[in-house]
Structure 1
Amino acid sequence: MSAAAVLKLQKAGFTTEQVEALADFMDTQAASKADLDNAVHKLELGNAALRKDLDVSNAALRKDLDLGLASLRSEIADVRGELRLLEQRMTVKLGGMLVAAVGILIAAMRYLPPTGH
């Protein structure tokens, strides 16, 4: 507590014992500028450490995401290739069924007796 503050308190009617008790209380309870600066410094250090941890975590997540996307793209390409093969097999089977149906129809027309028209 400054000398000016002590004088103001004494002029206001505080006794010397009251001023000393108040000064002791203020010294033990109030934060000094150095205390505040120290707290700010610790918070800044903690903030910097958190930012660094977040940057590392963010980089790891991006790497995992990139790997996952590459894997997903590969799987999609595989599925598309399998769908093309399935489409080709279905086209061949449908063509074969069509050829067989036409052959059966021609054979039926040729070897069945004509109807009486």
Structure 2
Amino acid sequence: MLAPMSTTTFDTFKFVDRLEKAGLSREQAAAIAEAQKESLSEALDATLATKADAVRLETRIDGLETRLQNRIETLELRLTVKLGAFIAAAAGVIIAVLRLPH
């Protein structure tokens, strides 16, 4: 499960008030605040992952996990077969040595 994303708020009223105190008219301050709000919103939209992005990423991770698990199981089987062959060969050598005349 993914952690929830944090949100950033932009207080347009505080921004407008600050611009008015700096000498801009109410209309100018409101226009600048709206432009700033849109700019911030577009920047966040361009950089934050969407829920669909998270779902796609989770699907890819699940696929990789399945492939990795299959690979591990295949390797375990191969190691088991090789170990069994080694034990059988060792047992054969021991039996052969024991049957040699003394």
1:77 aligns to 2:89 (yes or no): no
Provide closer, same or farther for how the CA distance between residues 14 and 88 of structure 1 changes in structure 2, counting only shifts above 3 A: closer
Q: 1:29 aligns with which of 20, 32, 36?
A: 36
Provide closer, same or farther for how the CA distance between residues 88 and 14 of structure 1 changes in structure 2, counting only shifts above 3 A: closer
- Whose relative contact order is higher, 1 or 2, with alpha carbons under 8 Å and at least 6 apart? 2
1:62 CA displacement: 0.5
Structure 1 residue runs without a partner (length 5+): 98-117
Structure 2 residue runs without a partner (length 5+): 1-12
Aligned pairs, number: 82
Provide closer, same or farther for how the CA distance between residues 23 and 84 of structure 1 changes in structure 2, counting only shifts above 3 A: same
CA RMSD of aligned residues (A): 2.9
1:14 CA displacement: 7.8
Q: TM-score, normalised by structure 2?
A: 0.66
Q: Percent identity?
A: 9
Q: Where does structure 1 differ by over 6 angstroms across 4 or more consecutive aligned residues?
A: 12-15
Q: TM-score, normalised by structure 1?
A: 0.58
Q: Tell me the secondary structure at the aligned position of residue 79 of structure 1.
A: helix
- Between 1:22-31 and 1:69-78, the stretch displaced more is 22-31
Provide closer, same or farther for how the CA distance between residues 86 and 21 of structure 1 changes in structure 2, counting only shifts above 3 A: same
Counting helix residues as a fraction of each chain, which structure ranks higher? Answer: 1
Whichever of the two has the greater Rg, that structure is 1
